[in-house]
Structure 1
Amino acid sequence: MNLRQTYRLGNFRVEPLECALYHPQHGKQSLQPKFIDVLNYLVQQYPKVVSRQELIEQVWQGNEYVGEKALTNAVWHLRQALKADNSDEVIETIRKTGYRLLLAPDVDAAGTPETEPLSPSGFLLARYNILVASLVMLIIALLVYTNWPSPAPSSKLPITVTTEPGLELFPAPSPDGRYIVYKWLGQGGQADLFKRDLQQPELGAIRLTFDQAYEGHSVWSNDGRYLYFSRKDREIDQCDVVRMDMQSFQETFVTQCPTFGGYHYIDISPDDKTLAFYGDEDGATRSGIYTLDLTDKSATPKRFSCDQDCSHKERDMAFSPDGRYMAVTRRFNSFNENIFLVELTSGETHQLTFNEEDIVGLSWHPDGTKLVYGVQRADTRTGYLLDVDTMQRQPLSIEGLSYPNFARKTPLLFFQYRKEQYQIAAWPLDQEVNSSPFPVLQSGYNHKSPDYHETLQRIAYLSNETGHYEIWTADSDGSNRKQLTHLGRSSRYPKWSHDGQYIAFLAPDEDGDGDHVYLVEAATKRVQQLSSPFNSHNRPFWSPDDSAILTTVFTPQHSDIYRFSLSGASPERLTHNRGRYGVMPDEHTLIYSTWRRGLWKLSLHTGETVELLNSDTFPHRYAWTATTEGIYYLVEEDQYQELHFYNFANQEHAVLLRTPRSTFVGDGDLRLDMGERRILFTKTLFNQSDIKYVTVDE
């Protein structure tokens, strides 16, 4: 057959001239020319076995030094590309011999049917018809073009790079795309960096770090010599930015990073002279982006982000390929994060995205005119391609995409593929033998943040089955579900009033500038906003008589628990040590958690505060609940999670349950159902997260 001729392999149409595969469902995949050459030769020799030496001779002109590894790489990529139908192997390896194509190529099915030649008169008529038709089509095309939205990039089937058990996170490709470094997080809590050689996929991943600390995001220098990454050791309360020589694997301390938070973003300028990272310093009112001059060994980090009188916090960043700009993410509140473009010389800033809730990674296309970024809405992740000049946005249509990262010298886009799954589960308090939690609400959608009303025997919870987290209720066994809100934007933290008439919850303003506490009436579904002079709040809870709602207020000066009277009185600040969430066992007592300062009790009558549990014993702000007898709370270790009970009477701690790590959502809610003697909570499945890549050449 002619090696330029179109042919089919199963459901794939192969276009050798385009170096592309077309699939009816997955669209176009672009492949390297050598990959297509290998496939073409196997097709030409079908059904013969083709030796490796013959393929190297035909495709690489006998250059064994290059061809030996390149052939293995080509076959691996072809197998990955031809897996769209989840069918058997298309290319068979014949041990110690070579390869054989297992699927018969179909040339006629892809070709153009033959026709009789035209007579001279027919030829002239045909030319006239073609001209008329072309003119009509041109007019139609011009009309459509001026009114048609920008098309999405050609759909391409992502190639899977990693499939290890556990979570492979934060891909960092080398500039040429040959190597990929990523963080691996095991179920036992182990967290280390690993490296894979994509030209030798048959080789296993190489472990780069060997410690008990938590490595985070990483970035290669543009010359491919170094890898920069964060390392956080909770045992010694230390976080460092480290440089690793990728030849000798020798490490060098660069600077310090914050010990709090789970994301330590990092990037490097195109000239390898400036490192940007997510940092903090004494005296700063908030964390933000810092830069470090790598050419000056005595240099100290300089704050890039705004600090004083700011309405936002900058987190992630990406230098443009020409070094003129930095794209940064700005979080205004927990419901509003968007991307801004900063011109590095003048500081001039332009907003690039709007109405996004959570940005999960951003990366510049090598051509310097486009950005790919990931978004998360109601725990569903996807990605977009944005032209920074025209502001046209195109969906990538890859569900589960987050933390995209281009190999700087290629159009290969690496990303982590991850889906989060949550369900509401219950654990019985009085069982004699430990057992697994029992599911209460589970389906193909996410259900989370339960709150239980004893009298009504109803659970208030969040569900994302409408595309946003809305407020729902259900019977204690999960049946008789009812949707209460239809806001069309994500809500959080539902909390029943004691009389069962209302559910308080947190949701963003319609304009996205802030958030407020809202009340939905269970009987009528009527929603009203709690009056507040502040624009950033936290999880609401009720006073014992339902006359007030308490919640943390976030201001530039402090973050503490306030009481908001439903009668319209001015808000009253109750805590002064970073209070975060609480319960009121009676009208004079507030038991509350703090930001990294343990659990406290406040007398509203005298103003006296008493520490109940220190931060070492009680690390969580939200995964706890209180009764008149004591406190149920979550403890997380490296290998497991435990549910503890602290008895007020004898001041003793008891371990009630030990489960695999990530059974409980770390910042989730624990809620008591005393009628059935159980604890309700949000259960997470330990999700698989893999690294994949796709070509973005548009």
Structure 2
Amino acid sequence: MKARNLIGLVLALALMWTAEAAAQQTAEELYQAGLYQEEVQGDLQGAIAVYQSILQEHPQNRVVAAQAQLHIGLCLEKLGLIEARQAYRDVIDGFPEQRDVVAMAQERLASLAQELAELRREPTFTKIEIASKPDHGVLSPDGRRLAFVSDDGLWVVPVHGNVDATIAGEPVRIAGVEGVWDGYGNLAWSGDGRWIAVNGPDSSWQRSPGDSDVVYVVPVDGGEPRVIHMPPRWQLHQGQRLSLTPDGGTLAFSALGEDPEEGPDNEQKYFIYSTPVSEGGSRQLASTEGLLPAFSPDGERIAFVTRRRGEGHFKSDLWLVPSSGGEPVGVISTDSGRLRAPVWSPGGDFIATHYEPGLNNVSKELWVIPVNSADPQSSLIKIELPNTSWNMLAGWTPDDRLGVFLTTPEDPGAAYTVPATGGKAVRITPEHIYRPDPRGWSSAGDRIYLHGLSVGGDGDPQLSQLGIGFIPARGGEVTSMPIATDGDSIRGGVNPDISPDGREVVFMGGHWPRNRRPQAEELGIWKAAVDGSTLTQLTAEPVFDAYPRWSPDGQWIAFLRLEEELDYDGGNIHLIPSSGGEIRQLTTNADSVDVSNIAFSPDGSRIAYFSRNTIKVVPVQGGPSEVLVTTGSRFPFFSALDWSPDGTRIVYVPLGGKIWIDHLSSGERTELDTGLSDDFGYYSVAWSPDGERIAFAAGRPSETELWLIGDFLPEER
């Protein structure tokens, strides 16, 4: 019995050895067949298929499998495909014990990296001068025209005019469509260049109550636009991006999900939809949340992005979904930062996006992503921008140039004083105070109180405590107020106002993590002693309270409250006793109070506020508001105003505009002459208690310009 068992064991081992030898021979035969196709027949794709079959069928034969993986890389390199780099990495990572083969892969990988570096040229930047200076727009598919919105109308301008290739031609307004809106380059051309999709009036303030959200699909050569009534969309620019199919027959967009489920941090979920332009009726294309859709040049796919909130930053993903709908395929993800505004290359093999590293919309880097690559991350092309870009990419031209709007650095401004009758202004703040906002004078007129940021040594604005301080009226160093905190790092200090006796300051502030924007319930109106002895929260409702102002007798504090059901540009004026207590609403929605500064009249009987294209006053004791000043255009948000001490005049400045003084009895209006050059914009005003001088802030605004970026792709793709 033992002998029979021993014979059986020997036979089994012999059979196992024979099978293994046969397998080794089969793997070797396949390898030789692959070499023959690669080196003799020159059939590189066929050789790759043979080598891949070795990896699939004979992974246990590590020697031959390593050689097969190496030759996959060699074939890809001969084909000029950048995926060869990943094939060599797979040799290094997957076969570390095969040292000779790994050494060859490392050598080829280093050589390939050097060759690619030599092929990759430095990007070139060409500025296009457009006399009308649009700060956003989208290039036509042929790259010859730019569509943009200005003065509530849709315009098209030749990118290359008659004077020079870098000077644009004459803009033409497209007839038949009025009241359109675009802030960041969200409109879209059809691939055939015959149609432009553009958003209708912005819901934030241009639409009247009850008006629906619409998109116009406009024939470029003239004719009646098609009107599409949109489902609920995100009203910020990320939710307004449009895209058209090549023939203009289908519109893609992002909208609130049919089931308005809230995501993390109470954020609503938005998805990618499409709708036939001629019929209407939207359809959700993917179950994955998405923003910023972009049709591929052939109309078969839609690129879109998602964003995810991380610890102190955003993460983002780029996806592709069939234009008919289906399961999206991930292309690339970020560990930190957001992708913005995907734009396809004309051939459909690349997608360019902005990369936003922080929590805001600032981008100084473009990503060019090979969408058909097995490993887009390893072959990603990054383009460093010379200036900041806030907008969507303008497009990708047939000659491989990217259109981007770049914003020049702004002069953040300084505080000045000037005689109330006009004259030569004198600067009163030093260089290291960033964007100072003079809020008022001391009763003696020897100090000016302000809010500002103290610039750190690296040049980045750093908040100095609450940013509240004072400066000698004749200029000098800013003294920060030692305002107490409650042990929980109160932040903000925005819109401060000093009490008439100079002992207390009231401001907007609160508690919220430094890695995100504050929520309404985290903010309120606070009062603090200027010597740092006390700190009191006056309001703590789950709404935004801002722009607090003391009454002249110090008994009341007026402030602006933005109710949740109101648009972001409207609110109502409220009053609260300066010692705290019951809040009284002074205005209603019918008073149309803008989100801007408010100001008590010197006798404390009225409060002035901005309302569309007027300045109105409302009685403190209650009653209807009345118009005090009327201008020809709407005041921008965050405009500033103040009364003369005798109450006969009012000074005001539209944000970024000029300073104006209206004489209330005569109606005379004069521009305050400051002696500064015409390129300065103004954003704050405060009248001295003796009526002799006006403090203000001014800076030079940034400019946004269209640039074309070329030579960013390798010479051989």
State whether TM-score is above 0.5: yes
Distance (whole Å) between structure 2 residues aligned to residue 256 and residue 613 of structure 1: 40
Answer yes or no: is 1:268 the counterpart of 2:243. yes
What SS does the corresponding residue of 2:541 show, helix, strand or coil? coil
What is the letter of the counterpart of residue 553 of structure 1?
L
Distance (whole Å) between structure 2 residues aligned to residue 677 and residue 295 of structure 1: 61
Distance (whole Å) between structure 1 residues aligned to residue 473 and residue 448 of structure 2: 5
Where in structure 2 are there 5+ consecutive unaligned residues?
1-98, 110-119, 257-268
What is the letter of the counterpart of residue 126 of structure 2?
T
Partner of 1:424: 414
Distance (whole Å) between structure 1 residues aligned to residue 541 and residue 335 of structure 2: 25
CA, structure 1 residues 202+443, in 2 after alignment: closer, same or farther (shift >3 Å)?
A: same
Verify the 8 A CA contact 1:269 1:323 in the aligned structure 2: no
Distance (whole Å) between structure 2 residues aligned to residue 361 and residue 647 of structure 1: 48
Distance (whole Å) between structure 2 residues aligned to residue 193 and residue 329 of structure 1: 32
Matches within 5 A, 1:521-560: 523-524=531-532, 531-544=539-552, 545=554, 548=557, 550-556=559-565, 559-560=571-572
Verify the 8 A CA contact 1:386 1:394 in the aligned structure 2: yes
TM score, norm. by length of structure 1: 0.56
Partner of 1:574: 586
Partner of 1:584: 600
CA, structure 1 residues 394+159, in 2 after alignment: closer, same or farther (shift >3 Å)?
A: closer
Partner of 1:181: 146
In the TM superposition, residue 611 of structure 1 has moved relative to its aligned partner by 1.0
Distance (whole Å) between structure 1 residues aligned to residue 599 and residue 642 of structure 2: 7
CA, structure 1 residues 617+180, in 2 after alignment: closer, same or farther (shift >3 Å)?
A: closer
Where in structure 1 are there 5+ consecutive unaligned residues?
1-130, 142-153, 281-287, 305-313
Distance (whole Å) between structure 1 residues aligned to residue 102 and residue 307 of structure 2: 47
Verify the 8 A CA contact 1:279 1:290 in the aligned structure 2: yes
CA, structure 1 residues 468+339, in 2 after alignment: closer, same or farther (shift >3 Å)?
A: farther
Partner of 2:652: 633
| Residue of structure 2 aligned with 1:224, choices 189, 193, 201 | 193
Partner of 1:656: 671
Verify the 8 A CA contact 1:623 1:670 in the aligned structure 2: no
What is the letter of the counterpart of residue 591 of structure 1?
I
Distance (whole Å) between structure 2 residues aligned to residue 423 and residue 535 of structure 1: 31
In the TM superposition, residue 208 of structure 1 has moved relative to its aligned partner by 3.5
| Structure richer in helix, relative to its length | 2
Alpha-carbon displacement from aligned partner over 1:28-74 (angstroms, at most 9, x marks no partner) = xxxxxxxxxxxxxxxxxxxxxxxxxxxxxxxxxxxxxxxxxxxxxxx
Verify the 8 A CA contact 1:374 1:384 in the aligned structure 2: no
| Residue of structure 2 aligned with 1:194, choices 157, 164, 178 | 157
| Residue of structure 2 aligned with 1:514, choices 508, 518, 537 | 518
What SS does the corresponding residue of 1:514 show, helix, strand or coil? coil
Matches within 5 A, 1:276-425: 295-297=276-278, 299=280, 317-319=292-294, 321=296, 323-324=301-302, 326-327=304-305, 363=343, 371-374=353-356, 382-383=364-365, 385=367, 397-402=384-389, 403=391, 404-407=393-396, 412-419=401-408, 420-425=410-415
Alpha-carbon displacement from aligned partner over 1:65-108 (angstroms, at most 9, x marks no partner) = xxxxxxxxxxxxxxxxxxxxxxxxxxxxxxxxxxxxxxxxxxxx
What SS does the corresponding residue of 1:494 show, helix, strand or coil? strand
Distance (whole Å) between structure 1 residues aligned to residue 314 and residue 663 of structure 2: 42
CA, structure 1 residues 170+245, in 2 after alignment: closer, same or farther (shift >3 Å)?
A: same
Distance (whole Å) between structure 2 residues aligned to residue 359 and residue 484 of structure 1: 41
Verify the 8 A CA contact 1:425 1:680 in the aligned structure 2: yes
Answer yes or no: is 1:677 the counterpart of 2:666. no
Verify the 8 A CA contact 1:167 1:184 in the aligned structure 2: no
Answer yes or no: is 1:479 the counterpart of 2:494. no
Verify the 8 A CA contact 2:128 2:166 in the aligned structure 1: no
Partner of 1:60: none
In the TM superposition, residue 445 of structure 1 has moved relative to its aligned partner by 7.9
CA, structure 1 residues 447+244, in 2 after alignment: closer, same or farther (shift >3 Å)?
A: same
Alpha-carbon displacement from aligned partner over 1:595-617 (angstroms, at most 9, x marks no partner) = 53743333343x21221237656
Partner of 1:596: 612
Distance (whole Å) between structure 2 residues aligned to residue 684 and residue 436 of structure 1: 17
Verify the 8 A CA contact 2:305 2:339 in the aligned structure 1: no
Distance (whole Å) between structure 2 residues aligned to residue 326 and residue 300 of structure 1: 21
Distance (whole Å) between structure 2 residues aligned to residue 381 and residue 526 of structure 1: 41
Distance (whole Å) between structure 2 residues aligned to residue 379 and residue 525 of structure 1: 39
Alpha-carbon displacement from aligned partner over 1:306-339 (angstroms, at most 9, x marks no partner) = xxxxxxxx9x8333646456447999xxx99997
Distance (whole Å) between structure 1 residues aligned to residue 534 and residue 402 of structure 2: 46
Q: Percent identity?
A: 10
Distance (whole Å) between structure 1 residues aligned to residue 666 and residue 307 of structure 2: 46
Matches within 5 A, 1:142-157: 156-157=122-123
Answer yes or no: is 1:206 the counterpart of 2:158. no
Partner of 1:51: none
**RMSD between superposed Cα atoms in Å:** 6.3
Verify the 8 A CA contact 2:149 2:181 in the aligned structure 1: no
Verify the 8 A CA contact 1:165 1:688 in the aligned structure 2: no
Distance (whole Å) between structure 2 residues aligned to residue 346 and residue 622 of structure 1: 45
CA, structure 1 residues 583+209, in 2 after alignment: closer, same or farther (shift >3 Å)?
A: same
In the TM superposition, residue 481 of structure 1 has moved relative to its aligned partner by 3.1
CA, structure 1 residues 489+644, in 2 after alignment: closer, same or farther (shift >3 Å)?
A: same
In the TM superposition, residue 534 of structure 1 has moved relative to its aligned partner by 1.5
Matches within 5 A, 1:62-101: none
Which of 558-567 and 290-299 deviates more? 290-299
Distance (whole Å) between structure 2 residues aligned to residue 375 and residue 484 of structure 1: 33
TM score, norm. by length of structure 2: 0.55
In the TM superposition, residue 480 of structure 1 has moved relative to its aligned partner by 0.6
Alpha-carbon displacement from aligned partner over 1:140-180 (angstroms, at most 9, x marks no partner) = x9xxxxxxxxxxxx99444123145673522423446x435
Verify the 8 A CA contact 2:355 2:367 in the aligned structure 1: yes
What SS does the corresponding residue of 1:421 show, helix, strand or coil? coil
Distance (whole Å) between structure 1 residues aligned to residue 356 and residue 162 of structure 2: 27
Q: Greater CA radius of gyration, 1 or 2?
A: 2
Alpha-carbon displacement from aligned partner over 1:462-515 (angstroms, at most 9, x marks no partner) = 337343463264433442135679999995843232225436245783163634
Number of paired residues? 527
In the TM superposition, residue 550 of structure 1 has moved relative to its aligned partner by 1.8
Distance (whole Å) between structure 2 residues aligned to residue 165 and residue 527 of structure 1: 52
| Structure richer in strand, relative to its length | 1
Distance (whole Å) between structure 2 residues aligned to residue 349 and residue 502 of structure 1: 55
Partner of 1:494: 495
In the TM superposition, residue 555 of structure 1 has moved relative to its aligned partner by 0.6
What is the letter of the counterpart of residue 407 of structure 1?
W
In the TM superposition, residue 221 of structure 1 has moved relative to its aligned partner by 1.4
Distance (whole Å) between structure 2 residues aligned to residue 134 and residue 525 of structure 1: 70
Verify the 8 A CA contact 2:489 2:511 in the aligned structure 1: no
Verify the 8 A CA contact 2:428 2:474 in the aligned structure 1: yes
What SS does the corresponding residue of 1:652 show, helix, strand or coil? coil
